[in-house]
Structure 1
Amino acid sequence: MTEDTKETTNIFGLRAIIEAIESGSTLNKIYLQKELRGSLFYELNQLIKEKGITTSLVPIEKLNRLSKNGNHQGAVAQISPVEFYDLEELIEKTLESNKVPLFLLLDQLSDVRNFGAIIRTAECTGVNGIIIQKDGSAPVNAETIKTSAGAAFKIPICKVDHIKDALYILQAAEIKTVAATEKTEDVLYDINLNQPIAIVMGSEQRGINPSILKMVDYKAKLPILGDIASLNVSVACGAFLYETIRQRISITKK
């Protein structure tokens, strides 16, 4: 895994994007002009399907802005400023370190500022890796990195086809999964977090997908004493991570 400290770069033109994919570059997203046709577009579209790259159909005006009115040929791609880790390799490496694993799964979190804030807190609390879904998740772009205070370059980030895939892999490695959700009577402070743990946080709008909630080992909520029913996801994530650290420090001191 190599690090790249440049900000997110936009590349444009069908052939340039095809070559970027074939060279192994990590693309955050590809913007395609609506109703695009032609042999090069067909070739690019096949690669997009093979690699599972997130795409968005947009009007030509947006492509003009992204390419600064360059000859984009109906396609602009964002190259990620970081490379992503393989989840199974990261889990294996973490287990070999003899430290109690702590992972973080983000179920289609979409706001880049929340994402950046969570990355920063995760790095500060010793999280071994952050797992996101390829489709529907906030990108690792320049704004994410700025909000993370550079922590995005210091903590492993994994992309999976679906959060369910990651849950299966983690549970097979005997890592317990804890979902942050209001749909439970169990309070976070009653959960044993001094064991191999992966915390699952949901999206800003809908929380954790119901199908994911059915798979986790524990569900936990934070007590809310005020009138507002929920916390910002990055704040809630910080509370979950620091409670994990508090429990582990308490056990160590005994």
Structure 2
Amino acid sequence: MEETTRIFGIRAVIEAIQGGKSIDKIYIQKGLSGPLFQELNRLIQKNNYNTSYVPEEKLYKLSKGNHQGVVATISPIKFGNLEETIEKILEEKTTPLFLLLDQITDVRNFGAIIRTAECTGVDAIIIPEKGGAPLNADTVKTSAGGVFNLPIVKVSHIKDAVFYLQSSGVQLVAATEKTEDNIYDVDFKQASAIIMGNEAKGVSNSILKAVDKKAKLPMFGKIESLNVSVACGVFLYEAIRQRQLS
């Protein structure tokens, strides 16, 4: 899986982009220059790819060979379009369940969340183009293949998805400790989208201001928070519990 989801070299990455490959992330050697790099940079800017400028040692670790200053990871799946995906789901279901991930950075958390989402019947997962964990071989493995069983959509900004879902009649619920409202007081029997935040920072403040509901999990121990993938599982199964009782 690792070998098939990485490509090395400026020309190879340019050809992958022009060939319509689903690029997940591009690693570029710091200080790289030249006409071929300028061509690649124009394509990166045009398509708004997730990029990282790294030391040459990092590229050697990724490529184990002649990287020519650039390594790109190719997603094992093709990401869906936001509007098309949501419209299709809303046509088929009256009370869909969506999951938005606001910059989850750990690939194993990402994979575990996808696995739980697939098991709980989530209709689509929405992630940002930049700032989140890559969908790589580790993600696929941790998801137990769940990445292949439900739509995953990439958006420029999670707020774009928030506003579009709200305009489509979907309730937006943010999982956050920055509220007095309890998860068990939220009505998940309606069309809903749950937002899980970054492992360290949680859901960003700008998104918290835009959502319909904020909810927290009751905590009784000395540790103040759960791992994000565990917390996500609790939220999803509470939604399922309510829907099965209705």
TM class by smaller structure: over 0.9
Structure 2 residue 108 is the aligned partner of structure 1 residue 113:
yes
Count how many residue pairs are aligned between Structure 1 and Structure 2.
Answer: 245
Could you say what secondary structure the match of 1:170 adopts? helix
**C-alpha separation between the residues in 1 aligned to 2:74 and 2:218?**
40
Q: How does 1:34-183 map to 2 (within 5 A)?
A: 34-70=30-66, 72-183=67-178
In structure 2, give the amino acid aligned to 1:84: F
Could you say what secondary structure the match of 2:6 adopts? strand
Could you say what secondary structure the match of 2:195 adopts? strand
Runs of 4+ in structure 1 deviating by more than 4 angstroms, as ranges, are none
In structure 2, give the amino acid aligned to 1:203: N
**C-alpha separation between the residues in 1 aligned to 2:80 and 2:41?**
25
Could you say what secondary structure the match of 2:36 adopts? helix
Structure 2 residue 224 is the aligned partner of structure 1 residue 238:
no
> Which stretches in structure 1 are left out of the alignment for 5+ residues?
1-5
Deviations 1:88-126 (A, max 9, x none): 111111111134110000000000000111000000111
Question: What displacement does 1:227 show?
Answer: 1.1
In structure 1, give the amino acid aligned to 2:21: S
What does residue 3 of structure 1 align with? none
Question: What displacement does 1:68 show?
Answer: 1.5
Q: How does 1:180-219 map to 2 (within 5 A)?
A: 180-219=175-214
Counterpart of 2:17 (choices 17, 21, 27) is 21
**C-alpha separation between the residues in 2 aligned to 1:77 and 1:98?**
37
**C-alpha separation between the residues in 2 aligned to 1:62 and 1:228?**
35
Deviations 1:141-178 (A, max 9, x none): 00001001000110110000000111011011010100
- Taking only the aligned residue pairs, the percentage that are identical comes to 62
In structure 2, give the amino acid aligned to 1:153: F
Question: What displacement does 1:42 show?
Answer: 0.3
Deviations 1:11-65 (A, max 9, x none): 1111110010011101111111111110010010010011111111111122222
- Cα RMSD of the aligned pairs, angstroms, is 1.0
**C-alpha separation between the residues in 2 aligned to 1:179 and 1:150?**
26
In structure 2, give the amino acid aligned to 1:245: I
Structure 2 residue 33 is the aligned partner of structure 1 residue 33:
no
**TM-score where L is the length of structure 2:** 0.97
